[in-house]
Amino acid sequence: MAEPFIRFEDLTKSFGPKLVLDGVTLDVPRGETMVVLGGSGTGKSVLLRHVIGLHRPDGGRVFVDGEDVTDFPEERFMPVRRKVSMLFQAGALFDSMNVYENIAFGLREHTRMSEDEIGERVARKLELVELPGVEELSPADLSGGMRKRVALARAIALEPAGLLYDEPTTGLDPITATAINHLIRNLQRALGVTAIVVTHDIDSALTVGDRMALLHEGKLLFTGTVDEARASAEPRLRAFLDSARLGGAR
């Protein structure tokens, strides 16, 4: 297995009296897509947000690209967030900006690229997410699937080494969700990024993942390849897989 690009080491996190992450240790190999699977409220998104400092652990360590970022002050997370981008569940597009301005925002904030260079970069990223020529549209003009694609174009605009996906298919119809899953997989192959996808959707997990992890009540119950997941006797993982089979997944 490749060296980890992201590593969680004995991570714990509570909100008030609720223990959300309970000693989670997980390696995300460089260049692979790790799917973190689990039901609602199991700590998946909380785990993800620790990578870029949106949550800070109560205990344990977080490593990104070999660097311990656990105790970084806010300003030191800026280069980490350039290295690892996040696709938020709702897309988090700026409604007051058109598609071009949304994607160009980070390039203007964090690079010295000329406007011509920015325009070329925006166009290339929209082509990568299979949505060319929509620069002048506003977020209000976009369908749910299109908003996800534009948000993804924005996430890859700075050409990060890592991508974090928070429930990327939530709220989408099955056809659009399938298209987003294939896009995530194609981007990983095209860009060679390391990715973590958190989801409760086993269809999505089986489509995009190289490896899978199962969180339940803050604890990691399983980690392994997709084939190892299919062969696992872990009862909660089997329940997820069986639900996919009943739903018609292959």
18: domain CATH number is 3.40.50.300
> What are the CA-CA distances from residue 79 to residues 17, 84, 163, 175, 224 (Å)?
33, 9, 14, 36, 30
Res 249: pLDDT: 42
Own/partner pairs for 26-30, CB < 8 Å, 24+ apart?
Answer: 26/213, 26/220, 26/223, 27/1, 28/4, 28/194, 28/196, 29/1, 29/2, 29/3, 29/4, 29/5, 29/194, 29/210, 29/211, 30/2, 30/3, 30/4, 30/5, 30/194
Res 190: pLDDT: 87
Give the C-alpha separation, 148 to 106, whole Å.
Answer: 17
Res 250: pLDDT: 37
Res 248: pLDDT: 45
The answer to whether 147 and 154 have CB atoms below 8 angstroms apart is: no
Chain position carrying tokens 């409604």: 95
| Single-letter amino acid, residue 56 | R
Give the C-alpha separation, 234 to 13, whole Å.
Answer: 24
In sequence order, what are the residues at sequence separation of 6 or more whose Cβ sits closer than 8 angstroms to the Cβ of residue 122? 100, 103, 104, 107, 135, 153, 157
Please tell me the total count of domains within the chain: 1
> Closest Cα to residue 186, out of 156, 225, 166, 145?
156
Query: What pairs with residue 202 in β-bridges?
Result: none
The answer to whether 197 and 165 have CB atoms below 8 angstroms apart is: yes
The answer to whether 57 and 12 have CB atoms below 8 angstroms apart is: yes
Per-residue model confidence as pLDDT tens for the chain (250 residues): 568 999 999 999 999 999 999 999 999 999 999 999 988 878 899 999 999 999 999 999 999 999 999 999 999 998 999 999 999 876 678 899 999 999 999 899 888 999 999 999 999 999 999 999 999 999 999 988 899 899 999 999 999 999 999 999 888 888 888 989 998 998 888 889 999 999 888 888 888 999 999 999 999 999 999 899 989 989 988 888 887 654 444 3
The answer to whether 209 and 184 have CB atoms below 8 angstroms apart is: no
Domain that holds residue 45: 4-246
